Amino acid sequence: MFKDEAKKRIQKLRAEINYHRYLYHVLDRQEISDAALDSLKHELQKLEERFPEFLTPDSPSQRVGGKPLNYFKKVRHEVRMTSLNDAFSEEELREWETRIAKFIPDSRFKIPDSGYFAEAKGDGFAVSLQYENGMFAVGSTRGDGITGEDVTENLKTIDAIPLSIARGIKEAEKYKEVEEIFERYPRVRHALEHLPKFLEVRGEVYMTKQVFDSVNREQKKRGLPVFANPRNIAAGSVRQLDPNITASRKLSFFAWDLITDLGQKTHEEEHLIMKVLGFPTVPLTRRCKALDEAILFWKEIGAKREKLPFLIDGVVIQVNDGTLFDRLGIVGKSPRGAVAFKFPAEEATTVVEDILVQIGRTGVLTPVATLRPVSIGGVTVTHATLHNMDEIKRLGVRVGDTVVVERAGDVIPAITSVIKGLRPKNAREFRMPLRCPVCGSQIARKQGEVAYYCTNKQCSAIQRERLYHFVSKKAFDIDGLGPKIIDALLDNGLIRDAADLFLLKQEDVEQIERFAEKLSSNLIAAIRERRAISLERFLFSLGIHHIGEETAIDLAHSFGSLEKIVVASLEDFGKIRDIGKVVSQSIYEWFCNKKNQEFLQKLKKAGVRITDEKLKVKSQKLAGKTFVLTGELVSLSRDEAKARIRNLGGEVSESVSRKTDYVVAGERPGSKYEKAKKLGVKILNEKKFLKMIG
Ligand SMILES: [Zn+2]
């Protein structure tokens, strides 16, 4: 075959394959069989091998996974990647509408003719896709909304994500559906005629129920553990360092947000533009004139969700008009103009096969029911928490009972009732063990409390939980160091406490089975990187009873250094605002304990040091002033506002008293506002507050 002949054939094959991709993924129809399409792909690949000079990055042959990565690069989101607020009832949904109505300063909120746009909400993993000159350039995860991870290579393997977007009217008009869109929505046509250099689209990577079942069948056949739900596999597959694994998972994609301004006026038009460009969008959508229509749509979708080929967990309802949507802005991490109207929790019945106890970080024993596996809304449920002995008594549950289990979102499934008529004769009542199932020490119950504790402070189960806590997100936040790896390190005798983590060497970690060289060096680097830590995180990570995130921040700001905390008296702790008797006692006792003192010394020796950047008060502008926040602020979150006050030397308190200097009142302030008025405390609105903090 001559070169120019090959070139032509390659181009034609690509166009043909892309044509069928679009039909299949975007328009949901098929003109040729899968086998025929595979055969075309095969021919293309062979030709490209012979004439590599004609290979382009957007060729359909380029969907094979590349080489495994060592780590993910970070990607900064130019436009913040928000997540949605939820509504769980019609009442909450209507409250949302009332809220946004208040937000529009015009006499009364009138939804323009475009009304609301409602769409089924896929239960998957959110990603952002950037295109440069029409070619897929960067794909990233949400991360914290501001910075995500670069997962481009993995996303390339997903057939539903176009490697290049339609670059002209001609290409798009091959399909009758697209022609119809152009006729009805001239702005969509206009958008396609004026494509900018950069384009960003967001959407959901998900796994269909069918693929999920076949993956689990395969796992079972190979004697491997089955996956609990499609969302977790989707998330895990996108965040795989080896793109070949992602490729093997047969993931799908729906686009739901067009970030770039292409002249669209409504969210509905965004959907249509994305569709025309080559992105699959969720097929279940409706433009609604009023909220009642959206509720009706939600009911219809809810009734048929079981039969859908993919999992959905609700309906997203948003203000359709783009200008109005933008004007409503963002509250916290979510846009004000949209809400996820969730489907109610799902229930199923199953049998309690056993009740075991789990030991938490503070030594508390939590009874957990082992259930006969049951699928609830596409998720296999095998355990349900029973919280404590009182809850078991309230339910009257016994081992062998048939029970009703409820699952709602990410929450751990719970038993809601027992079907007593189905109780077998040999049903067994649960008793709290007298000895710890892990270390054998005595179990005790503190007076006045519901919980039972393992009395051995060195109990290995407690140590393990403490380590999980120590490396968790809000504590030391060590990348790649989750419970499984902690378990492996403990079980191989490589660590005994958290300080040992910082003494680990690459050779140690490599001994562990399934720990490749690269993974080990990444882990060691991640641990090393975290040796410098802020005081508040450090205090939180110690897992002292009653010391949550907030208290850790209060302590850090009041004392300023660990040295001062170590020598503080019980009274010193009591002086801090918002810290009560029980909490002071707990902190004081922790620092008096000799084992804990040794642990702190060990951490120091291992190179852990506390950075003081966050504590350095930038100015003393607000020194001696106490603030109380109430209501929602528009331009910054409550945490941000608190940080700003503290940075300027001010203090933040939770409750209003005569000692309070200012109450900052945002939207819909609560009872604190009334109290401030009564006590004559100065009230600042957001504008005045912003001016004060500069
Ligand atoms: Zn124990």
> Assign residue 250 a region: left if phi > 0, alpha if psi is -120 to 50, beta otherwise?
left
What pLDDT, on a 0 to 100 scale, did the predictor assign at position 107?
47
Superfamily of domain 534-611: 5' to 3' exonuclease, C-terminal subdomain (1.10.150.20)
Question: Which residue out of 41, 121, 275, 642 is catalytically annotated?
Answer: 121
How many angstroms separate the alpha carbon of residue 453 from the centre of ligand 1? 8
Q: What is the residue extent of each domain of the chain? A: 3-63, 86-342, 346-445, 460-530, 534-611, 626-693
- Tokens found for residue 564: 């001062």
Fold (CATH) for 3-63? Helix Hairpins (1.10.287)
Is the domain spanning 86-342 CATH 3.30.1330.120? The answer is no
CA of 427 to the centre of ligand 1 (A): 28
Residue-level pLDDT at 280: 96
Q: Where are the alpha helices (DSSP H) in 455-612?
A: 460-470, 483-491, 498-501, 506-510, 517-529, 535-541, 549-559, 562-567, 570-574, 581-592, 594-605
pLDDT at 257: 95
In whole angstroms, what is the distance from residue 124 CA to residue 314 CA?
Answer: 12
Q: Which CATH number fits domain 346-445: 3.30.9.10, 2.40.50.140, 3.40.50.2300, 3.50.50.60?
A: 2.40.50.140
Q: How far is the CA of 458 from the centre of ligand 1 (A)?
A: 8
**Residue 412 has what DSSP assignment?**
P
Q: How far is the CA of 439 from the centre of ligand 1 (A)?
A: 4
Chain Cα centroid distance, residue 349: 29
- Residues in the chain predicted with pLDDT less than 70, given as ranges, are 1, 65, 105-112, 220, 223-228, 408-411, 448, 513-515, 612-619
Question: Is residue 121 among the annotated active site residues?
Answer: yes
pLDDT in tens, 61-115: 888 767 778 788 999 998 999 889 999 889 999 999 988 888 776 644 566 677 9
Q: Could you tell me the distance, in angstroms and rounded to a whole number, from the CA of residue 595 to the centre of ligand 1?
A: 17
Q: Which residues pair with 321 in a beta bridge?
A: 266
Asked if 620 and 647 count as a contact pair (C-beta separation under 8 A), the reply is: no
CA of 365 to the centre of ligand 1 (A): 9
* Residue 440 alpha carbon to ligand 1 centre in Å: 6
Specify the CATH class of 460-530 in words.
Answer: mainly alpha
What is the model's pLDDT at position 110? 66
Tell me the Ramachandran region of residue 191: left when phi exceeds 0, alpha when psi lies from -120 to 50, beta otherwise: alpha
Q: What's the whole-model pTM score?
A: 0.59
For ligand 1, the distance from its centroid to the CA atom of residue 461, given in whole angstroms, is 6
CATH for 626-693?
3.40.50.10190
Centroid of ligand 1 to alpha carbon of 436 (angstroms): 5
CA distances (Å), origin 117, targets 27, 266, 303: 20, 9, 19
What is the structure's pLDDT at 201? 97
Topology alike, domains 86-342 and 626-693: no
Give me the pLDDT at residue 261, please. Answer: 92
